[in-house]
A and B are shown apart, each in its own frame.
Chain A
């Protein structure tokens, strides 16, 4: 998960600190918190932690987790990497897919191809702006978000919201293999793919290299620009994929569905142990982070308080959770 496992090895001679190292691992923290929250939910409203319910939460988490995969890559690449345009791409992809499918299974393949290409295109634009023009990622993707939101208004004017193909809806919400829906398998596959990509390929090593020290990586011959553009393109494609799945989940696309994914995708990455500075962390933690966010939100909807109380508790809890992860070092003279 975390690339700096060497730290645990060094301090291994003192078994106590090894345990502390293990317990402080973001993935472990997130998993423990997920289990604790599920137990709390079960206590508050029996049936919360039933298998059926956990499956439903996993589907919602998968949608967020797929967006967060791209976000994670961009953040790992460092230099203040962040992608604020993912929400817009999710919405755009959902409406394009809905219109290409129009409730027909035959439309799935063209929809997937067109949506992934669209996502890649916006990612390419972001990546070129960040690398060639050296616009800070936050600024570039913020501007792109504005463009996407405007584009959505135009598109919505002319065409209907579209309908998901039955096979897609089934893939997202019905059991597919071993009782798990297809989207869960897709998410797990993405998890394996990301782990392989980041930990076993040259591309992955290069991502960590440019994330932790871009100058050194450049000196060592890493094609820094190409990799960064690729990261933004992957982010756009993951967002587009999430948009297709979201269409399958909700049946038809509606206004700005994707907007709710923008900042939560960043939070999922942070709760998963990847600091926004990049160069450290990985996707396994992010998956747990996405699940943690979804379980937390779900628990808040089951307890009987009004929206204002829910938001206050959610915000405060996020702050407390963040105390576990990646706090900046105190200044020393």
Chain B
């Protein structure tokens, strides 16, 4: 049998929830077409129930992840970068198949995503030293402020730079000890669908990163109003989407951050690799202790 006679084994794309690859409970699928409109793949069309399941997994994983040493989180994020690097050809191919700009653009995006993970791997055991401090109070107390993980962060990835955008929102959240539920780009969902393979092989504990492919409008409102979500990090939002998020978030006062980055800004290292992108996903805790006998 010559190679050309061989039938290719196609990948079944699934969700990534709690460290496993389930199909959507809804049984629905999304057709992804390539740039010429040719059918390319079928993906899980995640439901609101899938989102809620992912939040349950993320909540369960949150205390353990926050309790890991910062050094350990550093190494796990770096491991993600290693795995992503190893799969960069596959990511480049799937991104180039739907995103305008061709393979060289896609390859640049993937490389930048790897580097972003490396940058935040480095931040995991340092941001606390930049964002926290000791406070000179006018009383015999030792007083200091530390940055702690918030808990569960929902990430709404932009359509633009579907992998780099996603990583740019995900990395700051998880490097600080939060767990994440990611809704990938609806327009270009393939990178989201295979990112689970990176997480699954990087010692990322089950539930720390959960990845959903689906229709963003359907999931935003549930996410915004969900009482067990602590924060939302979104990008590429319309004004109406932003209003939906902020309105729903008032339910339990979850923290909403809407990133307005566009185009080249996703590649601007000064903008993107900054600890002030971690700041919205930590709580500052101030501890007082008497000093003196």
Asked if A and B are interacting partners, one says: no
User: Which residues of A are at the interface with B, using a C-beta cutoff of 8 A?
Assistant: none
User: Which residues of B are at the interface with A, using a C-beta cutoff of 8 A?
Assistant: none
